[in-house]
Structure 1
Amino acid sequence: MSRTVLAVGGHIGDMDLTAGPTLAKMVDDGDRAIILACTYGERGHPRLSPEEYRTQKVREGEQFAEDIGAQFRVLDYSDGFLPDDDEAANQIADIIRAEKPDIVITHWRNSIHRDHERTAILVERARFLASLPVDSPLGRHGVRQLLHADNWEDAEGFAPDLYVPIPDGAFQRWRTAIQNQAFARGETYGFRYIDYYTAMMSAKGCLAGTDRACGFAVGGSSKFQLAGP
């Protein structure tokens, strides 16, 4: 039976980088994947204006999703200015009601980046709001599983308790797709994102007894699992 997974990031590219290999694997397994960015992430390029980089980021997000077989959405918020309010939470809740994901993936609750922290808070609030019997043509929906992705900017207190093995095909498709994003190639801050997350998958694979794996912290109860979601 196929499932729907919704990956919600603070900026375009966040979930592509951290949850992307898992999304590619799930698409290979016959599942449906949706990537939602809460902001454009447009203020991070040292040479392009925010307006120019916003256009590029949207194009990169659309292309990445297409390359791994996912859908792409972005909310109309600016990088660094994501609000922590019920209006934003309800926007995400409406997407949950409409798309009815079985699994939602987002950031860990603690981060050096405010947009990441606020995204995690908004997603947990949206998950609750979507489950309520409210007067909405979309109805209500309860998300079965909430997962927090492993992000180097969200490391404080993060401890994975679920490991998802990443087959070679899904890994190669992710790596090819993520190369098309400027920040991931190191063009913005100079950080070797792709090398870092590739190495991290190898390290997690050692723990999971496979070549590569992605680690997640399970929202709510944290019972250890060694399996795909």
Structure 2
Amino acid sequence: MNKKMMVVSAHAADWCTRAGGTIRRMIEEGWEAYVLALTFGEHGESGAYWKANPDSSFEACKVCRKQEAECAAASLGIKSIEFCDYGDYPLEMHEKEIRSLTKKILDYRPSVILTHWICDPVNLDHEVTGKAVISAVNAAGMTGAVPGARPMSFLISFSLKQPCPIPSSASLKWTPISI
């Protein structure tokens, strides 16, 4: 098994607040991480930015969010982070976006994909992201989903009863969050 992990995040900072400790631990264990942020979170995830910069623009907010996410990624040892700029609140993932996500999965060929849960009544952008990832993963297993690409299979699994000890890297999770 290759040690490549893909993290698909609805907004620029979701991945570090929800999975930063896991990502850091896996990197310490020799994994390579690639983060894909579907949006910058400029509409609904940037309250502090808009409070401090009420006369700013969406473009300026995106630049700030990108810099914050890149600094957070560097602090965890993530070497690759990409932003799709699909727009948030609402995030809409249609055929074009899901095909693009499928291609990114097939190009990177991760053995693990981390993303949002598919049932999030509080933040529908997270739910849309989780469902889009499942659609893209299913398509990635089909010959012809991306012409010329070799399909790949995934086992989708999650257990609420799985023990999850808090690793020594837990404190490192707070570094990118505080940036």
What's the TM-score once normalised by structure 1's chain length?
0.67
Residue 20 of structure 1 corresponds to which residue in structure 2? 20
Match of 1:133 in 2: 143
Q: 1:114 to 1:93 in 2, by over 3 A?
A: same
Match of 2:59 in 1: 51
Deviation sequence 1:16-59 (CA, Å, 0-9, x none): 11111000000000011111111110123333332222111111
Structure 2: which 5+ runs fail to align?
A: none
* Aligned-pair identity (%): 25
- 2:84 is aligned, of 75, 82, 97, to 75
> With structure 2 as the length reference, what TM-score do the two structures score?
0.84
Amino acid corresponding to residue 22 of structure 1 in structure 2? T
2:153 to 129, 142, 145: 142
Contact 1:2 1:30 in 2 (8 A): no
The structure where strand makes up a greater share of residues is 1
Structure with more contact order per residue of length (Cα contacts < 8 Å, sep ≥ 6): 2
Instruction: Pick one of 121, 130, 154 that aligns with 1:120.
Output: 130
Q: Secondary structure at the match of 1:18?
A: helix
* 1:166-216 deviation digits (Å, cap 9, x = unpaired): 422x22322122210xxxxxxxxxxxxxxxxxxxxxxxxxxxxxxxxxxxx
Distance in 1, Cα, partners of 2:136 & 2:11:
17
Match runs of 1:136-215 below 5 Å: 136-145=147-156, 160-168=160-168, 170-180=169-179
Figure out how many residues of one structure are paired with residues of the other and give that number: 168
Cα deviation, residue 104, structure 1: 1.0
Aligned-residue CA RMSD in angstroms?
1.9
For residues 162 and 36 of structure 1, do their structure 2 counterparts lie closer, same or farther at Cα, with a shift above 3 Å needed?
Answer: farther
Please give the secondary structure, in 2, of the residue aligned with 1:172.
helix
